[in-house]
Amino acid sequence: MLGSGLGQLADAIESPTLIPYAGIPEFPQPGVSGHSGDLVLGHLGGTQVAALKGRCHLYEGWSLEESLIPVRTLLELGIELLILSNASGGINPRFHSGLVVAIDSHIDWLFQTRKSPNPDPSTGSILMRSHRTYDSMWLARAQETALEMGFCLPTGTYLATLGPNYETRAEYRAFGRMGADMVGMSTVPEALLAMQHGVRVLAFSVVTNVANADVPSQTHHAEVLEWSANARARLQPLVTKIASKYFR
Ligand code: HPA
pLDDT of residue 221: 85
Per-residue pLDDT at 128:
64
Superfamily (CATH H level) for 7-247? Nucleoside phosphorylase domain (3.40.50.1580)
Report, as residue numbers or ranges, the catalytic residues.
4, 35, 57, 59-60, 87, 185-186, 209, 221
Cis peptide before 216 (omega within 30 of 0): no
Ligand 1 centre from 171 Cα, in Å? 12
Q: Ligand 1 mean position to 30 CA, how many Å? A: 17
Q: Is the dihedral of CA 6, 20, 239, 159 positive or negative?
A: positive
Which residues lie with the beta carbon below 6 Å from any ligand 1 atom?
Answer: 87-89, 166-167, 183-185, 208-209, 219, 224
Pairing of strands 155-160, 182-184: parallel
Whether the full predicted model's pTM is greater than 0.75, yes or no, is yes
Q: How far is CA 203 from the centre of its chain?
A: 6
Domain positions in the chain:
7-247
Task: For residue 25, give every residue at least 6 positions away whose Cβ sits within 8 Å of its Cβ, in sequence order, or none.
Answer: none
* Ligand 1 mutation target, pool 107, 162, 183, most atoms within 8 A of CB: 183
Atom of ligand 1 nearest to the CA of 167: 1
- Shortest CA distance to 52 belongs to which of 103, 88, 18? 18
Counting from 1 in the atom list of ligand 1, the atom nearest the Cα of 161 is 2
pLDDT tens string, the chain, 248 residues long: the values are 998 778 888 999 999 999 999 999 999 998 877 667 999 999 999 999 999 999 999 999 998 889 999 999 999 999 999 999 999 999 999 999 999 999 999 999 998 765 555 555 555 455 666 668 999 999 999 999 999 999 999 999 999 999 899 999 999 999 999 999 999 999 999 999 999 888 999 999 999 999 887 887 788 888 888 888 889 999 999 999 999 999 97
